[in-house]
Amino acid sequence: MWYRSEITKKLGVQYPIIQAGMAGGVTTPELVAAVSNSGALGTLGAGYMTPETMQQAIKQIKQLTDQPFAVNLFIPEIPNVDTEAINQANEWLRPYREALQLTKPEVKQPSSSNYEKQLEILLQEGVPICSFTFGVPDKETIQKLKQHHLLLIGTATTVQEAMINEVNGMDMVVMQGSEAGGHRGTFLGEFEDAMIGTMALVPQAVDQVSIPVIAAGGIMDGRGILAALTLGAQAVQMGTAFLTCLESGAKKQHKEAILHTTEEQPVITSAFSGKPARGIKNQFITEMAAYEKDLPSYPIQNALTKEIRREAANQNRPEWMHLWSGQGPRLSRQQAAGEMISKWILQIDERIK
Amino acid sequence: MWYRSEITKKLGVQYPIIQAGMAGGVTTPELVAAVSNSGALGTLGAGYMTPETMQQAIKQIKQLTDQPFAVNLFIPEIPNVDTEAINQANEWLRPYREALQLTKPEVKQPSSSNYEKQLEILLQEGVPICSFTFGVPDKETIQKLKQHHLLLIGTATTVQEAMINEVNGMDMVVMQGSEAGGHRGTFLGEFEDAMIGTMALVPQAVDQVSIPVIAAGGIMDGRGILAALTLGAQAVQMGTAFLTCLESGAKKQHKEAILHTTEEQPVITSAFSGKPARGIKNQFITEMAAYEKDLPSYPIQNALTKEIRREAANQNRPEWMHLWSGQGPRLSRQQAAGEMISKWILQIDERIK
């Protein structure tokens, strides 16, 4: 069968399809479980979760499925708190806060303690698979997780980043093409240099690393899945396609925006988080564009805009929300995750019979 | 067979592979004929050619092959000559000219007369297929060419541009993904908005237009060809892969640069021509980056830098040459075009048997 590979065997799933671990409430336990119950791999996007919330979600997932699932974590970044940059950013953000009747948040010094507690919980809960974004865990962490038989999936946006994942002992690596929605996973050099399209990125990575490659970026249906496997990937990771699922926890304005936009609208912006990410162009992105280079680093800018985005959703102001999307929104559908997956599999079976 | 499609039938070729009509001396009659003699479609890149040079090249191609071939033309752009911008650009270009012992060129008002004479010659020489970049010919021209049974291939970088090609009567359309080397074919709106990766662009276009779609951008071997067909394209167009062929007329420094670079190096620059194009980062691109927004429009900036690039090649200064390349240079090979094509076909046959 076309869908058997080293990866499906290792992951213990039927289909070589991974639902991306989108952070910020998108990956409800219902979504993760629905995906895993349909023979693909669901992923809890725990990047922004507290250890407690994450543990709670993992317990719920385990009640909803007995199939393998993954948890996605963010490798922490610890910039210094630059008070001047924060004051300047708060000034730029003032009009949105005023309109939404919000006050300035208190800024905490970022640390890695949340991440370390998250890792402990992975072990406690016996999570079988963990993926990482924004870097590679240190060798000690990798060793420890592997001793507990966790399968480790890395994220790379260039061949060199893929090689670093391999050398450090990651089991497989997601190659994130420039089409992808949400944050760029780039952790080496300038992100602009790492905007490589999936069609070019995947075969070049496949030729250079010996760990299995997972393709991501612009893959939205059976055609994209089969094309990615043809390029040499052993599996695909899909984010935007799952974001509009019935089980997804994305805000309704976010889902609607994806379902009704076109391929030119999702643009790269650092305005929401201080880190480049692809989202549908709106007023916030356009107005903040001029200040992008001077914003506080991730995750500080992320903390500064968090309440604005949350409250914008509550007050139905999508023009100020982060509407992450990849470059294939015309192919998005509002459907149950399981139905979506079945449809893709049928599409592929039709194509290759 | 996997390679039969409406497009191969219409074009009269065996394989759904088009060698891109790269301008600037790359597409020698030997390259075009070698590609067409191998069952794919060779294209003469006549964008920058005088009508006389183009006619000469077409006659040579006809002596070298009895198979179909195409000619690529640029839809002319006629900006006003902005003397101030030209003087400023000349000032920025002075260090290169001095180092290369060149004088300032005389700037002529761009016109469409070259293009109109090119169209006449297509008819005179009975060229069977013509592709266009930087826009769509007007309806009168399309009508006239079609009366003479020319097949017309357009270039688009967004779904909307593809629709305009269809509405205007083009027979098929190349969807140029963001991975592609050389000039962006964008003719509507901002080019940045039209940087859509091939993986996302192709299926969205296929769903929205009824003329056949040709995929381009990051396709470098049999894996890429089959992946593109899987996405719904009926053929592929490949540029960079053919640029390093033995029969290609690209400068040796250009070929060497592609053969030895990595996927992050080809970046978008307007410095050489006044129009965004993807080429391998070098000193000229880096130094001119700050002035990009203030350079004269294409094709005026192109005329200003032409001698610099030519003389840089003569004096072996690749740091000042335009080294166009797509995002898949790690997959480039120096080989005869015919051997390359056979290898790709074998690769695909192996994959789908």
**Closest residue in A to B188 (Cα–Cα):** A264
Between chains, do A231 and B208 touch, taking CB under 8 Å as contact? no
Closest approach of A199 to chain B, Cα-based (Å): 6
Task: Choose among B266, B234, B271, B253: nearest CA to B331.
Answer: B266
Residues contacting A94, CB < 8 A, separation 6+:
none
* Residues of chain A that touch chain B, judged by Cβ-Cβ distance less than 8 Å: 158-160, 177-179, 189, 192-201, 203-204, 207-208, 217-221, 223-224, 226-228, 230-232, 262-265, 267, 326-328, 330-331, 351
Burial of B287 (C-beta count, 10 Å sphere; 0-12/13-18/19+): middle
Between chains, do B199 and A218 touch, taking CB under 8 Å as contact? yes
| Residue given tokens 């002035």 in the structure block | B291
Task: Choose among A336, A125, A150: nearest CA to A245.
Answer: A336
Mean of pLDDT values over A71-79:
97
Distance of CA A353 to the CA centre of its chain: 33
> What angle (nearest 5°) sits at the alpha carbon of residue B173, between those of residues A225 and B39?
85
Closest approach of A1 to chain B, Cα-based (Å): 13
The structure tokens listed for B156 are 């688009």
Distance of alpha carbon B22 from alpha carbon B3, whole angstroms: 24
Closest approach of A116 to chain B, Cα-based (Å): 33
The fold of B6-76+112-249+332-352 is TIM Barrel (3.20.20)
Rama region for A322: left / alpha / beta (φ>0; ψ in -120 to 50; rest) = beta
Residues on chain B touching A192 (C-beta within 8 angstroms): 267
Rama region for A102: left / alpha / beta (φ>0; ψ in -120 to 50; rest) = beta
Find the helix or strand (DSSP H, E) in which A308 lies: helix A300-314
* Amino acid symbol at B249: G
Task: Choose among B43, B42, B39: nearest CA to B13.
Answer: B39
Shortest CB distance from A230 goes to which of B195, B226, B331? B226
Residue B4: predicted pLDDT: 85
Residue A352: predicted pLDDT: 86
- Asked if A222 and A344 touch (Cβ cutoff 8 Å), the reply is yes
The structure tokens listed for B50 are 């005088």
Find the helix or strand (DSSP H, E) in which B52 lies: helix B51-64
Task: Choose among A291, A294, A267: nearest CA to A281.
Answer: A267
Per-residue DSSP letter, B131 = E
Between chains, do A179 and B200 touch, taking CB under 8 Å as contact? yes
Distance of CA A322 to the CA centre of its chain: 14
Shortest CB distance from A219 goes to which of B192, B194, B199? B199
Strand partners, A236: A17, A215
Residues on chain A touching B230 (C-beta within 8 angstroms): 223, 226-227, 230, 351
- Asked if B137 and B77 touch (Cβ cutoff 8 Å), the reply is no
- Model confidence over A229-259: pLDDT tens digits? 999 999 999 999 999 999 999 999 999 999 9
Residues contacting A334, CB < 8 A, separation 6+:
A244, A245, A246, A255, A259
Positive or negative, the CA dihedral A196, A202, A206, A207 is: negative
Shortest CB distance from A199 goes to which of B208, B219, B264? B219
Shortest CB distance from B199 goes to which of A159, A194, A197? A197
Distance of alpha carbon A346 from alpha carbon A351, whole angstroms: 8
- Model confidence over B6-55: pLDDT tens digits? 999 999 999 999 999 999 999 999 999 999 999 999 999 999 999 999 99
Shortest CB distance from A224 goes to which of B207, B231, B265? B231
Task: Choose among B30, B22, B64, B75: nearest CA to B46.
Answer: B22
Interhelix angle A222-230/B222-230, rounded to 10 degrees, is 170
Shortest CB distance from A159 goes to which of B199, B203, B330? B330
Residues on chain B touching A264 (C-beta within 8 angstroms): 158, 160, 189, 193-194, 196
Task: Choose among B77, B100, B60: nearest CA to B275.
Answer: B77
Helix (H, G, I), strand (E, B) or coil at B67: coil
Closest approach of B199 to chain A, Cα-based (Å): 6
Between chains, do A327 and B189 touch, taking CB under 8 Å as contact? no
**Closest residue in A to B262 (Cα–Cα):** A159
- Distances, alpha carbon B221 to alpha carbons A283, B81, B155, B231, in Å: 42, 42, 21, 16
**Closest residue in A to B200 (Cα–Cα):** A218
Evaluate the omega torsion of the peptide bond into residue A299 and state whether it is cis, within 30 degrees of 0. yes
Between chains, do A263 and B223 touch, taking CB under 8 Å as contact? no
- Asked if B25 and B249 touch (Cβ cutoff 8 Å), the reply is yes
Interhelix angle B159-167/B198-208, rounded to 10 degrees, is 40
Residues on chain B touching A189 (C-beta within 8 angstroms): 264
- Asked if B25 and B232 touch (Cβ cutoff 8 Å), the reply is no
Backbone angles phi, psi at B277, to 5 degrees: -150, 155
- In this prediction, residue A264 has a pLDDT band, given cuts at 50, 70 and 90, of very high
Distance of alpha carbon A112 from alpha carbon A120, whole angstroms: 13
Backbone angles phi, psi at A182, to 5 degrees: 75, -160
> What angle (nearest 5°) sits at the alpha carbon of residue B211, between those of residues B208 and B215?
80
pLDDT at A1 over 80: no
Distance of CA A198 to the CA centre of its chain: 16
How many CB pairs lie under 8 A apart between chains A and B? 149
Task: Return the HEC string of A245-272.
Answer: CCCCCCCHHHHHHHHCCCCCCEEEECCC
Q: How many helices (H) and strands (E) does chain A have?
A: 14, 11
Evaluate the omega torsion of the peptide bond into residue B299 and state whether it is cis, within 30 degrees of 0. yes
Residues on chain A touching B267 (C-beta within 8 angstroms): 192-193
**Closest residue in A to B205 (Cα–Cα):** A330
- CATH classification for the domain delimited by A6-76+112-250+331-352, as one of 3.90.550.10, 3.20.20.70, 3.30.565.10, 3.30.300.100: 3.20.20.70
* Amino acid symbol at B229: L
Residues on chain A touching B282 (C-beta within 8 angstroms): none
- Model confidence over A276-323: pLDDT tens digits? 999 999 999 999 999 999 999 999 999 999 999 999 999 999 999 999
Shortest CB distance from B230 goes to which of A159, A194, A227? A227
Residue A62: predicted pLDDT: 98
- Model confidence over A322-336: pLDDT tens digits? 999 999 999 999 999
Residue A126: predicted pLDDT: 97
* Amino acid symbol at A49: M
- Distances, alpha carbon B244 to alpha carbons A175, B11, B23, B210, B337, in Å: 26, 25, 14, 34, 9
Closest approach of A239 to chain B, Cα-based (Å): 13
Counting every residue written for chain B, the total comes to 353
Q: Residue A157 CB: number of other CB atoms within 10 A?
A: 30
pLDDT at B1 over 80: no
Residue A353: predicted pLDDT: 78
Shortest CB distance from A199 goes to which of B198, B207, B351? B198
- Model confidence over B198-242: pLDDT tens digits? 999 999 999 999 999 999 999 999 999 999 999 999 999 999 999
Q: Residue A29 CB: number of other CB atoms within 10 A?
A: 22
- In this prediction, residue B173 has a pLDDT band, given cuts at 50, 70 and 90, of very high
Share of chain A above pLDDT 90, in %: 97
Task: Choose among B115, B102, B95, B138: nearest CA to B49.
Answer: B115
Strand partners, A278: A182, A268
| Structural domain boundaries in chain B | 6-76+112-249+332-352, 80-108+266-324
- In this prediction, residue A10 has a pLDDT band, given cuts at 50, 70 and 90, of very high
Residue A188: predicted pLDDT: 97
- Asked if A199 and B198 touch (Cβ cutoff 8 Å), the reply is yes
Torsion of CA B100, B106, B110, B113, to 10 degrees: -100
**Closest residue in A to B181 (Cα–Cα):** A200
* Residues of chain B that touch chain A, judged by Cβ-Cβ distance less than 8 Å: 158-160, 177-179, 189, 192-201, 203-204, 207-208, 217-221, 223-224, 226-228, 230-232, 262-265, 267, 326-328, 330-331, 351
